[in-house]
Amino acid sequence: MYSEKVKEHFNNPHNQRKMENPDGIGKVGNALCGDVMWLYIRVGENEDGDEIIEDISWETFGCTAAIATSSMITDLARGKTIEEAIEISNEEVAEELDGLPPVKMHCSNLASDGLIEAIYDYLSSNYDEVPEELKKRHQQIEKHMEEVQEEYGEYVEMEEEMHSSS
Ligand code: FES
């Protein structure tokens, strides 16, 4: 069963929209079902001059758990520094939602991977160096996305079309 919080976020998702001219985009897929998510970030600065996630939004073709975790991760990441945002795990997102059914835990990867990819996109476009750990996670996610593309090519194409016309 889904928690009340999951139902709340599924019924009234936060920050669900396409962002115009984002600083970073993460596009990720789930190899178990072919569902795809786009996560967008805009980067600003806090009073100390640290880079923070100033704005964040998403579009997800996915199940109840994928929608609720997408909504929750954007609430958690908004206002955080880039370094803090990288640390947000799918377990933390699930905990904030008062848990997910074990069979649905894989769906929460979309949200955390989407955030990592958006941050990687931002850092690699703006800096010569990307932290080694982030680079490794990006490579794993990219490999996973290739598997999604191979397994669910047509489905992903359909999602792409719906996404670009949204
Ligand atoms: S079943 Fe696809 S993301 Fe949950």
Distance of CA 110 from the midpoint of ligand 1 (Å): 9
**Partners of 26 in beta bridges:** 39
Whether pLDDT at 165 is above 80: no
Per-residue pLDDT tens for 1-44? 899 999 999 999 999 999 999 999 999 998 888 899 999 999 99
pLDDT of residue 161: 79
Q: Kindly list the strands in the beta sheet with 24-29, ordered across the sheet, starting from the edge strand earlier in the chain.
A: 24-29, 36-45, 51-61
pTM comes to 0.94
Whose alpha carbon is nearest atom 1 of ligand 1?
Answer: 63
Domain count, the chain: 1
Tell me the C-alpha distance between 78 and 57, whole Å: 9
Domain, as residue range, for 108: 4-164
pLDDT of residue 166: 67
pLDDT digits (tens, 9 = 90+) for 50-77: 999 999 999 998 899 999 999 999 999 9
Beta strands in 62-134 (DSSP E): none
Distance 1 CA to ligand 1 centre (A): 15
CATH label of the domain that carries residue 89: 3.90.1010.10
Which pair of tokens denotes residue 116? 């990592």
pLDDT tens across 70-106, in order?
Answer: 999 999 999 999 999 999 999 999 999 999 999 999 8
In the block, residue with structure tokens 């990592």: 116
33 is catalytic: yes
